[in-house]
Structure 1
Amino acid sequence: MFRKQKTFLVLTCLLLVSLIAAACGSESGQQGAQGEAAGEQPKEEFLIGIIPAQGSSQMKEGADKLAELLEKKLQRPVRAEIYPDYNGVVEAMGAGKAHMAYLGPLTYVEAHERYDVEAIVTQLIDGKPFYYSYLIAPADSPYHSFEDVEEHAVDIRFAFGDISSTSGSLIPGIALKEKGLFQSQQDHQFKSVVYTGDHTATALAIQNGLQDVGAIDSAFYNNLVKQGTVDGDKIKTIWQSEELFQYPWAVTKDVTDEEIKLIREAMLGTEDPDILSAFGGASGFTEASNEDYAAIRQAAIKDNRLKPKQ
């Protein structure tokens, strides 16, 4: 009798243990299912749009490394995409496809006007947030100054960069318009006018004698020479503009203040040579704001690219 009671107690205990284990397993399974469900909703990709200022192949490695840097900082997927032209980046921001963009100053003021994007960071060149528009010519060219360009315009094949470029189009275009040399690609005093699309293409066109005078970004030009992409001994600078505030990194309205803080921390702290070299041979990054581009905004209004606010 005692042995039967003992056996019954043992079986009861085993049954209770089984029930408890089953209950715990069920709860764990529910938690796991909830975790999997949460895992099926990853954070939205953060896209960085980049203008092809230096040509996409030269910028890709630095852009990809920047994306990796920001992905760690923001704790969300980040991808950088180099667009085929300047305006495409602006439209991507307006359509909500790009959250952040590397823009030329002119492209930025247009994007700010249309889509209310905000500049947050810019690069430093030799420690300063400025660059210039250059006019360059082959080293053996008979043209040595802006006055020479004015005097011999009818013989000159002139090259701008992208039509939306500040240093490759807007600023030199205004200088040429003031002398009555240029109004548009169809209305000018030159032998011919072309838009190469980016600064690398302009520099190579001048070096190889395909164009006689070209408008280019000073920082990108100097970096192309430093990298050996073009031979500085085969090119000379014949004109320099006043100081221009450097290219901004801008964000759309849906980027939070906390994300802006993290982006600034990451970029201002980086010393990666591939990242710095990809963006005009920068020596570093610094904070930027919309107010830094007031002079470019006025130039864009002067050139009828923006309408003054009423």
Structure 2
Amino acid sequence: MKSFKKILFSAALIAGAVIGFAQKPNDVQADYVPKKLTVQFVPSSNAESMEAKAKPLEKLLKKELGVPVKVSVSTDYNTIVEAMGSKQVDVGFLPPDAYVLAHKQYNSKVILQALRYGYKNNQSDELDKSKLVNYYRSQILVRKDSGIKNLDDLKGKKIAVQDTTSTAGWIYPAVSMYRKGVNINDKKNKIKTVVVKGHDQGVISVLNKNTDAAFVFQGARNLVKKDSPEVESKVVPIYTTAKIPNDTITVRGDMSPKWQKKIQNAFKKIAKTKEGHKIVSSVYSHEGYTDSKDSNFDVIREYDKTAEKLDK
């Protein structure tokens, strides 16, 4: 009888542990199978033109996956993270910091990282097409005639930035400044920030003298070169950051492993086709995709920890 009671007690403990484990907010059962796949991008340039470029992906993904696909563009990084957390979006094209946030809050899963051509050097927007890389860099741009030569010169200036979850448009340049002794949020430095929607808008704001500087990804000047061919001679980088892990393709946390693999393979296959490559290249300058894992983004978490000091 005592042994039977012990067995019952042990079973109760195990059941309690299982229930407790199941109730953890980030512990999501991975069994979701989409009947219709929703894919969302975050804007790196004009949202409307970006959505028009991305829409043809619907047909290509439907062919590979066998289910209807809806492609759309979110208003900002936070919106898409929340949409994935509330199960309104299945697949998100997320920059590194937004991915880290989505993983932390909703156990979202990274399945791919983008591959891009690198640049000739840290100052140039000219691509080096001899190799593909899984990283990029952020830059701080100013007008060449502004007199701003270094990070210390940014004190008292107005800077165009992206959302605070933007890796290239906020985290890396702001942390780089902090590590060089210039806290962008310290009132004594009298730096004013202006949030703009899209890295192209950051470049334009500097070109038009609406702001003194802008945080953008390296190569952002190319986004406006067609309409403003003088941009490369008038707007120049004064600082280029360390390497940033490339953008992700991330799925919601409860996606079944089988479907994670299907989506992973579909994007890699599509990016190798003429039509598919044209789409992903025009939207985000992606040249292809490589498998990814969460630990690739530990460096982002280190930058995030430093970013928390900006308000202290």
Q: TM-score, normalised by structure 2?
A: 0.75
Query: Aligned partners of 2:247 and 2:188: how far apart in 1?
Result: 29
Is 1:138 equivalent to 2:143 in the alignment? yes
Task: Give the AA of the match of 1:50.
Answer: F
Task: Identify if the C-alpha distance between structure 1 residues 76 and 199 changes in structure 2 by more than 3 Å, giving closer, same or farther.
Answer: same
- Count of residue correspondences: 257
TM superposition shift of 1:265: 2.2
Identity of aligned residues (%): 23
Give the one of 133, 139, 142 matched to 1:128: 133
1:286 to 283, 290, 306: 290
Residue 114 of structure 1 corresponds to which residue in structure 2? 105
- 1:282 offset after TM fit, Å? 1.9
Which residue matches 2:129?
none
The 3-state SS of whatever aligns with 1:232 is helix
How far is 1:179 from its partner?
Answer: 4.3
Aligned counterpart for 1:77 among listed residues 64, 68, 72: 68
Residues 44 and 266 of structure 1: is their aligned pair in 2 closer, same or farther, counting only changes over 3 Å? closer
SS of the aligned residue for 1:122 comes to strand
Q: CA deviation at 1:256?
A: 2.4
Once the two structures are TM-superposed, the CA of residue 90 in structure 1 deviates from its matched residue by 0.5
Equivalent residue number for residue 56 of structure 1: 47
Which residue pairs with 1:197 in the alignment?
197
Offset at residue 214 of structure 1 (A): 0.7
Which residue identity lines up with residue 197 of structure 1 in the other structure?
A: K
| Counterpart in the other structure of 1:90 | 81
Query: Which residue does the alignment assign to 1:233?
Result: 233
Q: Could you tell me how far apart the structure 2 residues matched to 1:105 and 1:216 are?
A: 14
Alignment match of 1:299 (pick from 296, 299, 303): 303
State the partner residue of 1:149: 151
Distance 1:68 1:188 in 2: 53
> Structure 1, unaligned stretches of length 5 or more?
1-42, 306-310
Shift of 1:226: 6.1
CA contact (8 A) 1:99 1:254 kept: no
| Residues 273 and 190 of structure 1, relative CA distance in 2, 3 Å threshold | farther
Amino acid at match of 2:164: I
CA drift of 1:198 comes to 2.1
**2:216 alignment partner, SS class:** strand
Higher deviation after alignment, 283-292 or 189-198: 189-198
For the residues of structure 2 that align with 1:296 and 1:108, how far apart are their CA atoms? 10
Aligned to 1:248: 248
- 1:280 and 1:73 map into 2 onto residues whose CA distance is 21
Equivalent residues of 1:223, 1:280 under 8 A apart:
no
Give the C-alpha shift of residue 65 in structure 1: 1.9
Moved more, 87-96 or 120-129: 120-129
Distance 1:165 1:229 in 2: 25
Q: Which residue of 2 aligns with 1:211?
A: 211
- Deviation string, structure 1 residues 246-287 (Cα, Å, up to 9, x no partner): 011100133222322222222222243442234431222222
Q: Is the 8 A contact 1:46 1:77 kept in 2?
A: yes
State the alpha-carbon separation in 2 of the partners of residues 151 and 206 from structure 1: 15
Matches of residues 2-13 of structure 1 in structure 2 within 5 Å? none
Report the secondary structure of 1:143's partner residue: coil
| 1:128-155 deviation per Cα after TM superposition (whole angstroms, max 9, x unaligned) | 11100100112333223xxx3304522x
| Range with greater deviation from structure 2 (201-210 or 271-280) | 271-280
What is the alpha-carbon distance in structure 2 between the residues aligned to residue 291 and residue 131 of structure 1? 17
Residue aligning to 1:168? 169
- Counterpart Cα distance in 2 of 1:255 and 1:223: 36
Deviation of residue 297 (structure 1)?
1.4
Q: Is this contact kept in 2: 1:223–1:281, CA < 8 A? A: no
| Structure 2 residue ranges without an equivalent (≥5) | 1-33, 118-131
Q: CA deviation at 1:229?
A: 6.6
Report the counterpart of residue 275 of structure 1 in structure 2.
279
Report the CA distance between 1:67 and its aligned residue: 2.5
Aligned-partner Cα distance in 2 for 1:286–1:223: 25
State the match for 1:32 in structure 2.
Answer: none
Matches within 5 A, 1:17-28: none
- 1:81, CA displacement in angstroms? 1.7
Tell me how large the CA RMSD over aligned residues is: 2.2
Sort the Cα spacing of 1:80 and 1:192 in 2 relative to 1 into closer, same or farther, 3 A: same
Aligned partners of 1:246, 1:188: CA distance in 2, in Å? 34
Identify the structure with the greater helix proportion. 1
Q: CA 1:94 to 1:58, structure 2 compared with 1: closer, same or farther past 3 Å?
A: same
SS of residue matched to 1:261: helix
Partner amino acid for 1:45? Answer: K
